[in-house]
Structure 1
Amino acid sequence: MKKPTQIMKKKHQNMYKMACINGKTKYICGVLIILLVAVVCVAGAASGFIQARDAHFALNGSPFLFNGFNSYWMMAVASEPSQRYKISSVLREASAAGLTVCRTWAFSDGGYQALQISPGVYDERVFQGLDFVISEARKYGVRLILALTNNYQDYGGRPQYVKWARSAGVAVNGDDDFYTNAVVKGYYKNHVKKVLTRMNTITGIAYKDDPIIMAWELMNEPRCKVDLSGKTINEWVQEMAPHVKSIDNIHLLGVGMEGFYGDSIQDRKQYNPQGFQVGTDFITNHLIKEIDFATIHAYPDVWLPGQSDYAQMTFLQRWVTSHWTDSRSILKKPLIFAEFGKSKKDASYNESVRDSFFSTVYTSIYNSARNGGTMAGGLVWQIMAEGMESYFDGNEIVLSQNTSTRAVIARQSCMMAALQHSSNCSECKILRNNRNNQPHD
């Protein structure tokens, strides 16, 4: 017998799917998104952990598809209590637009507003900012993907780790020693443990036990200049992924990479923008058993500067298709389009151009998911609140101001939700069949 909440959920899901598929007005779709969020997300957002099963994400045995966003700045802003309304505003507006996953930073290494002031030394005020982000995400039904450090010097990252080691008298040659030096690796492992075992001062739940956290990422966009083959980073992931799982074997884990191919399958390098390599290997890095899902990023206007919109979009389609194929046939793991954006700094930019680009990306994501692929969703870069001009990077989206872009985003949320709840969804059939063939707990 269905519980009352399940009956309400089913009713609103059917309304939601009909409005989206039949092409009703944006207003109706928006209202139904809010209804679905209110019934499904807010009421039961933390009711279970997202799992990776048979190359798809699942929640409580059912398929999990999503539309999401990046807001890397949340912990930094939340470390100042008077500014926390900005986190609440973004999560509230994102939830109302049907966005159910947010990717953000769980690091700030050295420098201004550092979480980790020096190796093993943390600022409790900043940590409480992250506590607030997680508690607000729970309030608005938004799952979190938390990155544990950065490839770049922004917010410290691996350059700061190497700098700390050098200051301690450790013989290091450059930033790429982050992946190989035992002392530096020890610093990173300690940070992982500190974050994962953190007890949230607001919710009273340890991070490693909180289902509102969807996944961890080892690093934002790892790269290695001294070894472009992908082998050095592969060895690092082989060491760090089991370390994360030894502390938290419940949450999903990703590498955090952009998707560039390395040396493992030579013909795949043709899909890299302009053929370049950055020291990662999409295939081998994601084949490591403790890595639960794969990620790709894409910034055609940055990666292919000066090329026509047609050339950039042609690249994008090939990029998505090749990774979707490999994640399905080789990796057999879910795929997330974890970053994409259209910069206002590009000479050809206007809001309609950005909306067209987003629509193309969203169509690729939706079609890949609908056709039984492993693509689970996308995370646009990036959503901000009003009054955050100092954080603008050219890709910023303020949902309350960029109304046409918000409509494009909300429509994708609507389509992905309808697909998730469709009885004809191939992912549903796979998950149901496998669930029926497995012993129950």
Structure 2
Amino acid sequence: MRRMSLWVIFLLVLFLKKECINVEGRGGFIRTNGCHFNVNGNPFLANGFNAYWLMYLGSDPSQRGKVSDAFSQASSHGLTVCRTWAFNDGGSSPLQSSPGFYNEQMFKGLDFVVSEAGRYKIRLILSLVNNYEDFGGKKQYVEWARSQGQIIGSEDDFFTNRVVKGYYKNHVKAVLTRLNTVTGVAYKDDPTIFAWELINEPRSPSDLSGKSIQSWITEMASHVKSIDSNHLLEAGLEGFYGPSSSQMNQLNPGFQVGTDFISNNQIPEIDFATLHSYPDQWLSNTSDQQQLVFLNTWLDTHVEDSRNILKKPLYLSEFGKSWKDPGYNSSQRDAMFNTVYNKIYVSARTGGATAGGLFWQLLTPGMDSFRDGYEIVLDENSSISRVITVQSRKLHSLGKFHARMKKVKGE
């Protein structure tokens, strides 16, 4: 019996050691140092993509291959960061069917996504709720509260109603403390996850003073950090300027939404700023050349403000150009991507705040029902695939160069 016990202990030690290697092998947690990202003390620069659909297909064993294919194809093109949804509130195939009640099969789909991302050495940015009614979002949360007798004026009460905020906080806790059924590692302890995103594109047009969203981000950022101090956190902003920099409002694409790029990102618990860019949507009645002029100014201004005012890293977490645009041709999309990628690279090369970008959106063959005009299937279009791959290689080489320079300087 004693010999058997020692053998069991030996096997257990091996198992635990293997688990530690699996977690450590994914790399350390991403950190910030001023306006730069680093991992294990080395600069972190990364090209990436959006794929909001991963959990949904990951929850269906017959469709899981598309998740693996997406990560495999992305990895082969040097893409190492993916942004995706960690929410689906109410409706059909929900993650959260009602406040605090979860669909285990859907959660297992997200478990699979996190596991596969780790296998392909891809970091994840996980968004926790939607501003829009797609996949539930603000609208579903306030409807849940209204059904419990809360007086709800509009969807924007999502940011101020005590009951609604409680629902959201509980969801945050459920996701962050989730024990992955594939890896056995809690999400809050898994370095595969790059960062949490509070909400996808927050907007509160009923309060253009910005006070509602500023207060909400402050409260929820503190809540996230009280549960998980390992991971970085970002707000999910599109980048619109607000009251704290009213002189910059002229740079917005013609509208206000109650957010403030400067003050929202100055909240201490927000680790880095985000920026979205859709000139073809925001300036739909202008020429392609005018949209590129706007894009250049939009990027330059936010890169400069992130470095000089926020002193935090900046990630361009959504951008794209739709083939549904009037007069579209692939060279226009290539030019748009090259403009974005060049701004990112130049900023990173010269010590600026920008560390990468995530195009919207990556699909794999056979996903026609998910096409929205912005989709990129890497095996379909050699032109845009080359643009993406070249940027991945440039950022990878630049990261290695910066790492060598740090060693030479003894940093």
Residue matched to 2:256: 277
The structure 2 residue matched to 1:101, chosen from 76, 81, 102, is 81
* Contact 1:61-1:432 within 8 A present in 2 as well: no
Which residue number corresponds to residue 151 of structure 1?
131
Structure 1: give runs of 5+ residues left out of the alignment.
1-41, 437-441
Partner-residue secondary structure (3-state), 2:256: coil
What is residue 282 of structure 2 aligned with on the other side?
Answer: 303
Q: How far did residue 271 of structure 1 move?
A: 1.2
Query: What is the deviation of 1:47?
Result: 2.1
After superposing on structure 2, the runs of 4+ consecutive aligned residues of structure 1 that deviate more than 6 Å are none
Deviation at 1:432, TM superposition (A): 8.6
Q: Secondary structure at the match of 2:243?
A: coil
Aligned to 1:189: 169
Give the partner amino acid of 2:337. Answer: F
Contact 2:348 2:355 (C-alpha < 8 Å) held by counterparts: yes
TM-score in terms of structure 1 length: 0.86
Offset of residue 44 of structure 1? 7.2
Q: Structure 1 residues 418, 165: CA separation in 2 closer, same or farther (over 3 Å shift)?
A: same
The answer for the alignment partner of 1:25 in structure 2 is none
When structure 1 is superposed on structure 2, of 211-220 and 397-406 the one drifting more is 397-406
RMSD over aligned CA atoms reads 1.6
Question: CA offset at residue 119 of structure 1?
Answer: 0.3
- 2: distance between equivalents of 1:347 and 1:81? 39
Tell me what 1:206 maps to: 186
Partner of 1:352: 331
Shift of 1:270: 1.5
Superposition pairs for residues 344-383 of structure 1, below 5 Å? 344-383=323-362
* C-alpha contact (below 8 Å) 2:315/2:354 kept by paired residues: yes
Match of 1:233 in 2: 213
Name the counterpart of 2:387: 408
Question: Could you state the TM-score of these two structures normalised by the residue count of structure 2?
Answer: 0.92
Determine the structure 2 residue equivalent to 1:220.
200
Tell me the CA shift for residue 357 of structure 1. Answer: 1.2
SS in 2 for 1:417: helix
* Residue of structure 1 aligned with 2:106, choices 122, 126, 140: 126
- Give 3-state SS (helix, strand or coil) of 1:57's partner: strand
Residues 185 and 251 of structure 1: is their aligned pair in 2 closer, same or farther, counting only changes over 3 Å? Answer: same
Name the counterpart of 2:16: none
Q: What's the counterpart of residue 306 of structure 2?
A: 327
Distance 2:376 2:323 in 1: 10
Give the residue type in structure 1 aligned to 2:292: M
Say how many residue pairs are matched.
Answer: 390
Contact 1:109 / 1:116 at 8 angstroms: preserved in 2?
Answer: yes
Which of 23, 39, 44 is equivalent to 1:59? 39
Task: Give the aligned partner of residue 32 of structure 1.
Answer: none
Aligned mates of 1:337, 1:353 — CA distance in 2: 19
Q: Partners in 2 of 1:180 and 1:192 — Cα distance? A: 17
| Aligned residue type for 2:63 | Q
8 Å Cα contact 1:224-1:279 kept in structure 2 = yes
In structure 1, how many angstroms separate the alpha carbons of the residues matched to 2:321 and 2:237?
19
Percent identity over the alignment is: 58
Find the aligned partners of 1:173 and 1:91 in 2 and give their Cα distance.
Answer: 42
Instruction: Look up the equivalent residue of 2:268 and give its one-letter code.
Output: K
Asked if 1:388 corresponds to 2:388, the answer is no
State yes or no: 1:242 paired with 2:227. Answer: no
Q: Residues 423 and 75 (structure 1 numbering): CA distance in 2 closer, same or farther, change over 3 Å?
A: closer
> Which residue identity is paired with 1:388?
M
Contact 2:176/2:187, CA 8 A, preserved across alignment: yes
Deviation, structure 1 residue 424: 8.6
Structure 1 CA distance for aligned equivalents of residues 282 and 390 of structure 2: 27
Deviation for aligned residue 1:43: 11
Closer/same/farther in 2, CA of residues 76 and 171 from structure 1, 3 Å limit: same
Distance 1:203 1:278 in 2: 40
Letter in 1 for 2:120: Y
SS of alignment partner, residue 310 of structure 1: helix
Return the offset for 1:61: 0.5
Partner deviation per Cα, 1:408-427 (whole Å, 9 max, x = no partner): 100000111111111498xx
* Unaligned ranges ≥5, structure 2: 1-21
Post-superposition shift, 1:352? 2.1
Q: Where does residue 80 of structure 1 map in the other structure?
A: 60
Q: Counterpart of 2:387 in structure 1: which amino acid?
A: V
Distance in 1 (alpha carbons) for counterparts of 2:57 and 2:107: 11
Paired letter, 2:288: D
Q: Secondary structure at the match of 1:46?
A: coil
